[in-house]
Structure 1
Amino acid sequence: MTAPLWRWLPAAACMLIIFLLSARTGNQLDGWLPWAQELFPGLKSFDPVHYFAYFVLALTFAYGFGFRRIDARRALYVILLSIAYGATDEWHQAYVPGRSPDWADLLHDGIGAAAAAVVLVVWRLWRLRGSRTRNYSG
């Protein structure tokens, strides 16, 4: 059974947010950096944002597939979908003034997505282990 279509709305919203942020020019982002550095001292660039954004995107993709059914195969799909979207995002940035595609950004996107997939698979295994323990202790 497949997940209902509405379960993919968070992923669509997350992709839209990433797209809109990627459409900011280099000058606009440079203006945001000092404000972000006040919130997060030590932030030198927006590179860490890639980890976070694609961690969240991967979670929304997993939600679309159904969190409770996440397994290694679906986790791989989540990672691949996230990287594919990251690649389209980098391509899009080639057309934004003051921005350019960057392989390092795509790597950060993939790492963020993979971290989310690992967390979800471990969470599912922990839940399955807990349910087996409860079933045997009765």
Structure 2
Amino acid sequence: MKSKWRYVPAVVCMVAIFISSSRSGDQLDSVLPWVQKWLPGLADFNPMHYVAYFILGLTVAFALGKRAATWSGCLLNVIICVLYGLSDEWHQSFVPMRSPDPLDLLHDGMGAAAAALIVLLVLTVRNRRGSRNYTGR
């Protein structure tokens, strides 16, 4: 039962992405000036795809547990995130003044892949240092 709770952060992240992508183009345009006060270099919300899916990739890695420290777990993480990104782009086709964009899906995948690879690297290094056979090289 404990391991099922590990999926909660990923589900919460997916809900947040769904809610954000449910906003119409007008709603997003009205929020952009406020966000630009905090992030002055932000011209539009495109970089947020990297950020949102990087966070989703981290939460999926948490859900995968030890499997996230394997190449197959890393690949599974990216597949889960990209499939969710695909469903999100489809969902946007029903939102006023929004449309699916293959580049958004690419950015989603890049954010997820970066998170999955960082988790793989960090967990691999941590596991090597924790093993009895670690020589410090």
Q: Same fold (TM over 0.5)?
A: yes
Alignment partner, residue 80 of structure 2: 81
Counterpart residue number, 1:47: 46
TM-score where L is the length of structure 2: 0.92
> Is the aligned partner of 1:65 residue 2:58?
no
CA distance in 1, matches of 2:103, 2:68: 31
1:95 alignment counterpart: 94
Residue 70 of structure 1 and its aligned partner are, at CA, apart by 2.0
1:27 maps to 26
The CA distance in 1 between the partners of 2:33 and 2:18, in whole Å, is 22
> What amino acid does structure 2 have at the position aligned with 1:14?
C
Distance 1:136 1:74 in 2: 26
Q: Distance in 2 between matches of 1:71 and 1:3?
A: 21
Task: Judge conservation of contact 2:50–2:111 (CA < 8 Å) in 1.
Answer: yes
CA distance in 1, matches of 2:99, 2:68: 37
Partners of 2:68 and 2:89 lie apart in 1 by 30
Relative to 1, partners in 2 of residues 1:133 and 1:21: Cα closer, same or farther, differing over 3 Å?
same
Contact 2:62-2:68 at 8 Å conserved across structures = no
TM-score (ref. length: structure 1): 0.91
Pairing 1:100-115 to 2, within 5 Å after superposition: 100-115=99-114
State the partner residue of 1:120: 119
Q: How many residue pairs are counted as aligned between the two chains?
A: 136
Structure 1 stretch 101-110 or stretch 65-74: which is displaced more? Answer: 65-74
User: C-alpha root-mean-square deviation of aligned residues, in Å?
Assistant: 2.0
C-alpha displacement at 1:69, in angstroms? 5.0
Unaligned runs of 5+ in 2: none
Cα deviations across residues 54-103 of structure 1 (Å, max 9, x unaligned)? 01101111111115752110010000000000000000000000100001
Q: Once the 2 structures are TM-superposed, how far is the Cα of residue 120 of structure 1 from its aligned partner? A: 0.5
Whether contact under 8 Å (1:3, 1:64) holds in the other structure is no
Q: Which amino acid aligns with 1:23?
A: S
Unaligned runs of 5+ in 1: none
Q: Is this contact kept in 1: 2:68–2:119, CA < 8 A? A: no
Decide whether aligned partners of structure 1 residues 126 and 135 sit closer, same or farther in structure 2, where only a CA change above 3 A counts: closer
